[in-house]
């Protein structure tokens, strides 16, 4: 019975995963903006060690953003392929059936 009542997660579908990745992309972008402001402040204050650490954070965030964007593209491709394989493409109002 426990298997039948498993909790739903954002990863139960491609669409859910895309939504989760989209939210993650937003958080990464907000964090990058904040960190860039911190870099400017550290640079103006002459805080060399802090500036080096923040530059490493910028690099790591850039790498993370690259990987998350790649994941978004892959999930989008998988969704498109699933729609093609299962003929799930949304129909336009001017298309006729059968």
Taking CA 7 as the corner, what is the angle to CA 5 and CA 12, rounded to the nearest 5 degrees?
A: 115
Q: Is 89 left (phi over 0), alpha (psi -120 to 50) or beta?
A: beta
pLDDT, tens digit (0-9, with 9 covering 90-100), for 36-85: 999 999 999 999 999 999 999 999 999 999 999 999 999 999 999 999 99
Q: What average pLDDT does the segment 12-25 reach?
A: 92
The model's confidence at residue 98, banded by pLDDT at 50, 70 and 90, is very low
pTM score over 0.85: no
Considering Cα of 33, then 34, then 39, then 41, what sign does the dihedral take? positive
**Distances, alpha carbon 3 to alpha carbons 6, 11, 16, 73, in Å:** 5, 17, 20, 32
Q: Cα–Cα distance between 64 and 56 in angstroms, integer? A: 12
């Amino acid at each position: 019975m426990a298997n039948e009542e498993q909790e739903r997660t954002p990863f139960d579908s491609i669409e859910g995963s895309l939504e989760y990745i989209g939210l993650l992309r937003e958080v990464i972008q907000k964090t990058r903006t904040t960190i860039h402001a911190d870099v400017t402040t550290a640079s103006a204050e002459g805080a060399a060690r802090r500036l080096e650490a923040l530059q490493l954070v910028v690099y790591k965030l850039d790498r993370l953003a690259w990987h998350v964007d790649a994941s978004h593209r892959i999930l989008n491709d998988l969704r498109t392929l699933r729609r093609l394989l299962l003929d799930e493409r949304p129909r336009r109002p001017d298309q006729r059936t059968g």
